[in-house]
């Protein structure tokens, strides 16, 4: 049974649609105290924090454009759709008035707002074990939100407690290093509070391994190679009895095997429950164009190519096999989960980190072994050390392997940014970009509201 992200009616005080981040109207002291009375209230509020992930403005739609469409994996071929707001993301012409940018920012700060309220009221939970778990979950979800914010926009307001609307306006953009420090602190604490797994009734909640894997990704993004390598080695050592690679890539995405041993954290859906399913995003369908170079990069025996070939669902939907699902007869929705962290990611991050710490010219090197575990599972030809003769060659091989393993899982754009290879990669698909394009514009509504270029400047290239 899936953890349900239901937003229950009595929580509507918190969860009614807000305007942008700085326009949030926090609960008053009285309503906050009256609302969070017991463990059940905190659990419901946490469900709303998870529910933010499902929505249109995050992983339900807009993140697919911001994190995958932006990359070289897929191309938007509908410039007139939705007034071009997705097309402009794909073509690096989005302005600070783009609604994808605006509402993604808004919903991420709404998620942080919810998490902050949970953490501020956590003492109403009387069971010590549950209190620890709920606190860890809220910190994980807040860290995830800030990790997305800092990668999408760079410096950003860092709000770690409930604030009034007036107080919110006083927050400037905190330095990237400060945002990452807060992310690391949340995940370090959360990893010590959370359990390694849940029973079937709670599958989908954040676990200690998810917190550690996300922390490792934050280290990797900052090029903290030694810290990443050490943490990832410990993840493999401590969790390999519960987690690991599925036998085939197809098994990972089989809707009848969701939350399998490879999935560390996923955005969960349920097509049979009203409001918990979703439709097919156009970028998962044949209404977009998959990069021919990506398709050509798979070897003849590589099973992963079939996962991004189209499979017919019905007369109106040809979708990539990775996300194949049938529509529920009652809700007319599909319900496949969207994995955010999986064991294959841990292994490839581990290979990358160890290569960056020190390239090892050996068939028995840890980095090569982890890289080949991924290729072996895919029935791809395994690398020999003579194929990857130096650190640079190995680095390129890992980046390419990540592209082959994770297409349409919202990793590619961030991988190109953190490895500083986006300019070269995008030039191969016809786009001339600069490092200004590594970040999105701060929504114009935010810049205009603060009206202080010193504390709340627009990102370069968007003025």
pLDDT of 39-64, one tens digit each? 999 999 999 999 999 999 999 999 99
**pLDDT of amino acid 3:** 56
User: Per mean pLDDT, which range of 23-32, 95-104, 192-201 is the poorest?
Assistant: 23-32
pLDDT category at 8 given cuts 50, 70, 90 is very low
- Which phi and psi (to 5°) does residue 341 adopt? -140, 130
pLDDT for residue 114 is more than 50: yes
H helix or E strand, kind and range, residue 354 = helix 343-357
Distance, CA of 240 to CA of 162 (rounded, Å): 38
Residue 55, CA distances (Å) to 81, 103, 104, 186, 245 in order: 20, 11, 10, 23, 29
Encode pLDDT of 115-172 as tens digits.
999 999 999 999 999 999 999 999 999 999 999 999 999 999 999 999 887 888 899 9
**pLDDT of amino acid 416:** 98
Distance, CA of 165 to CA of 26 (rounded, Å): 7
Average pLDDT, rounded, for the chain: 92
Number of H helices, E strands in the chain: 19, 6
Q: What are the boundaries of each domain within the chain?
A: 1-206, 269-288+308-322+331-336
pLDDT for residue 369 is more than 60: yes
pLDDT category at 287 given cuts 50, 70, 90 is confident
Range 360-382 burial, b when 16+ CB lie within 10 A, else e: beeeebbbbbbbbbbbebbebee
pLDDT category at 1 given cuts 50, 70, 90 is very low
- Helix ranges (H only) for 222-342 are 225-239, 249-253, 292-297
Distance, CA of 431 to CA of 21 (rounded, Å): 32
Q: Which CATH number fits domain 1-206: 1.20.1250.20, 1.25.40.390, 2.20.25.10, 1.10.10.10?
A: 1.25.40.390
pLDDT category at 11 given cuts 50, 70, 90 is very low
Give first-to-last CA distance, the chain, whole Å. Answer: 49
pLDDT category at 448 given cuts 50, 70, 90 is very high
Distance, CA of 235 to CA of 219 (rounded, Å): 14
442: exposed, middle or buried (Cβ count in 10 Å: 0-12, 13-18, 19+): buried
Per-residue tokens: 238: 């401590």
């Amino acid at each position: 049974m899936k953890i349900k992200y239901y937003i229950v009616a009595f929580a509507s005080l918190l969860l009614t649609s807000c305007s942008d981040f700085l326009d949030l109207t926090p609960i008053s002291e009285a309503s906050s105290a009256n609302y969070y009375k017991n463990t059940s209230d905190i659990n419901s509020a946490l469900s709303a924090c998870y529910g933010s992930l499902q929505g249109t403005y995050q992983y339900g739609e807009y993140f697919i454009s911001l994190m995958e469409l932006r990359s070289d994996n897929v191309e938007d071929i509908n410039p007139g759709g939705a007034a071009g707001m997705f097309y402009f993301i794909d073509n690096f012409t989005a302005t600070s008035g783009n609604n994808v940018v605006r509402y993604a920012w808004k919903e991420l700060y709404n998620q942080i707002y919810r998490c902050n309220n949970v953490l501020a009221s956590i003492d109403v939970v009387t069971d010590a074990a549950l209190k620890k778990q709920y606190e860890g979950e809220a910190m994980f979800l807040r860290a995830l939100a800030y990790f997305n914010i800092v990668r999408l926009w760079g410096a950003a307001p860092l709000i770690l407690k409930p604030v009034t609307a007036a107080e919110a306006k006083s927050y400037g953009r905190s330095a990237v290093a400060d945002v990452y420090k807060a992310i690391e602190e949340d995940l370090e604490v959360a990893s010590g509070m959370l359990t390694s797994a849940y029973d079937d009734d709670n599958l989908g909640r954040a676990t200690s391994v998810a917190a550690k894997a996300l922390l490792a990704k934050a280290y990797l993004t900052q090029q903290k190679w030694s810290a990443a390598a050490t943490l990832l080695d410990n993840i493999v050592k401590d969790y390999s009895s519960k987690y690991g690679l599925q036998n085939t890539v197809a098994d990972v995405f089989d809707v009848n095997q969701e939350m399998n041993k490879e999935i560390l954290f996923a955005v969960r859906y349920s097509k049979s429950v009203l409001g918990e399913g979703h439709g097919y995003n156009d970028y998962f369908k044949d209404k977009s164009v998959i990069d021919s170079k990506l398709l050509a990069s798979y070897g003849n025996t590589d099973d992963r190519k079939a996962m991004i070939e189209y499979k017919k669902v019905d007369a109106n939907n040809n979708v990539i096999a990775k996300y194949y699902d049938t529509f529920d007869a009652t809700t007319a929705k599909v319900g496949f989960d969207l994995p955010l962290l999986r064991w294959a990611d841990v292994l490839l991050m581990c290979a990358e980190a160890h290569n960056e710490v020190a390239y090892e010219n050996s068939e028995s090197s840890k980095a090569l072994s982890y890289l080949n575990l991924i290729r072996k599972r895919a029935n791809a030809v395994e690398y020999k050390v003579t194929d990857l003769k130096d650190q640079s060659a190995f680095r390129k091989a890992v980046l390419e392997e990540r592209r082959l393993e994770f297409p349409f899982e919202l990793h590619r754009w961030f991988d190109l940014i953190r490895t500083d290879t986006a300019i070269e990669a995008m030039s191969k698909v016809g786009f001339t970009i600069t490092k200004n394009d590594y970040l999105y514009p701060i929504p114009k509504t935010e810049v205009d509201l603060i009206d202080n270029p010193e504390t709340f400047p627009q990102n370069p290239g968007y003025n």
